[in-house]
């Protein structure tokens, strides 16, 4: 099992839709979890940290499920500008391990 796995997508959704991504991790000792957004040929940008109690930032909600070892990202009311690749990052050790990312395409 890979350390961090994501469905590569693409997820094609219309504007205004709600979409959710999951990311599974293999090391149960992982302590820190993050979601990053990466636009084509650009660097990843931190979207949000994922806390044990779950957290929300505007239209974005992140959840952590330690028992099943996955984190999720929910995007409500999708905008065209949300089109990007979403990377999850997990720290099994002192460094972050990134998933390959899930591509989201929001269409008019």
Residues that bind other proteins (CB under 8 A): 31-32, 34, 41-46, 49, 87, 89, 91, 93-101
User: Going by C-beta distance under 8 Å and a sequence separation of 6 or more, which residues neighbour residue 23?
Assistant: 4, 5, 6, 70, 71, 72, 73, 88, 90, 99, 102
Least distance (Å) between residue 80 CB and other proteins:
22
User: Going by C-beta distance under 8 Å and a sequence separation of 6 or more, which residues neighbour residue 55?
Assistant: 48, 49, 61, 62
Q: Which is nearer to other proteins, 72 or 97 (CB)?
A: 97
Least distance (Å) between residue 87 CB and other proteins:
7
Least distance (Å) between residue 100 CB and other proteins:
4
């Amino acid at each position: 099992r890979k350390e961090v796995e994501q469905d590569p997508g693409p997820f094609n959704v219309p504007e205004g839709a709600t979409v959710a991504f999951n990311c599974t991790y293999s090391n149960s000792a992982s302590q820190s979890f993050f979601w990053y957004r990466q636009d084509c040929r650009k660097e990843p940008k931190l979207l949000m940290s994922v806390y044990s109690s779950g957290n929300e930032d505007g239209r974005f909600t992140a959840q952590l499920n330690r028992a099943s070892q996955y984190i999720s990202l929910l995007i409500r009311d999708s905008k065209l500008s949300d089109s990007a690749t979403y990377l999850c990052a997990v720290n099994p050790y002192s460094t972050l391990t990134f998933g390959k990312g899930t591509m989201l395409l929001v269409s008019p």
